[in-house]
Chain A
């Protein structure tokens, strides 16, 4: 008759944590697969202007990056506080862009993308247009005409704060 008798005392059985490692591993693998390590170390400020009429760049597109902006404080002693261009992970002058562009095209992107490769200009918001115009002029001279101004998604009015 006491088949359904409760065990003595209402204590809850301890929660089994045997499945915890499985859950954690699952999360771990998720983050391992989605993690992409930054390609270059930024030596210049990268605070992009806001824009909302943007188009996405796919990671698989043939992209060549050019960075520009004010050097970070720890580099300012060497190169000054004026906005500089960064190619790969070195500061560079405007006339090095052409060489860099072709080197990257041949080594990383593939020569077949000569006329479809997009040059992403990652320029800090606080840069003067003069530098950007110089970069554009260099790109025009080597007939690398497809460019993308990298921006942050947001209302353009935030640029005036």
Chain B
């Protein structure tokens, strides 16, 4: 009798099966990646300690009420003017920092009525319980934007590249560690010049 030829398996429908799987994965794939605004919450104050008193001129108050209106330094303001106002406040450099050094890199008006030094300048965001989250985030976005403008300016002056660009390079997992270390050091220097000081006070009802 001998051996019989095994019939060849028909592979014609393999493409169909592969297509089916392909379409399934095509549909379920999302390339969405998480991004957002990083923030550090203030730690709980130890009991019995009163918070230090901050001079009014070093405080930039942004109030958002329940109708989502903005009150910046006791004046009604449109959100598109907020970034400019914040830059003016942070970059003022009217006085000295804790060590008594004047702000040599500030390009502001040196108004004695406004902030002393970027090191001392604090932006305080206060909101109502009924404030919309969207509005709050827009305000945060503008304030972070103000810091980024100033930090970019300093990064350009010192290292001829943008701070935000360095930030994205450091966040890239494919970049070499040694490059990152170098950039992180540079970023620390710039962060020292314009430390991010945005306080989110407890809401008032």
Contacting residue for B43 out of A37, A120, A128, A145, CB 8 A: A145
Complex Cα distance A124/B39, Å?
A: 18
For B21, the chain A residues whose CB sits under 8 A away are 28, 32
Interface string of A108-133 (1 = CB under 8 A from B): 00000000001010011111111011
B interface, size bucket = 35 or more
Which residues from A are CB-within-8-Å of B25?
A: 28, 31-32, 35
Residues of chain B contacted by A20 (CB below 8 angstroms): 15
- Which B-chain residue is minimally distant from A133 (CB atoms)? B203
Q: Does B127 contact A (CB under 8 A)?
A: yes
Q: Which chain A positions have C-beta within 8 A of B38?
A: 55, 118, 146-148
Query: Looking at B15, B36, B37, which has the most chain A CB atoms within 10 Å of its CB?
Result: B36
Q: Is B162 an interface residue (CB 8 A)?
A: no
Whole-angstrom distance between the alpha carbons of A141 and B47 in the complex?
A: 13
Main secondary structure of the interface of A (DSSP, over half): mixed
The answer to whether A37 and B36 touch across the interface, beta carbons within 8 angstroms, is no
Interface residues of B in 20-46 (CB under 8 A from A): 21-22, 25-26, 28-31, 33-44
Count CB-based A-B contacts (< 8 Å). 162
**Stretch of A3-11, A45-53, A85-93, A96-104 with 4 or more beta carbons under 8 angstroms from chain B:** A45-53
Q: Knowing that A63-B34, A118-B38 are A-B contacts, what are 12 other residue pairs whose CB atoms are under 8 Å apart, sorted by A's residue number?
A: A28-B21, A35-B28, A51-B137, A52-B145, A59-B33, A120-B36, A126-B133, A129-B131, A146-B41, A151-B141, A156-B141, A159-B137
The 10 A-B residue pairs with the shortest CB-CB distance, nearest first, are: A130-B129, A31-B25, A49-B137, A125-B134, A51-B141, A57-B34, A53-B144, A150-B36, A24-B18, A129-B131
Q: What are 16 A-B contacts defined by CB distance under 8 Å?
A: A21-B18, A27-B22, A28-B22, A31-B22, A31-B25, A32-B21, A51-B36, A55-B38, A57-B35, A63-B34, A120-B36, A132-B133, A145-B42, A147-B38, A153-B35, A157-B80
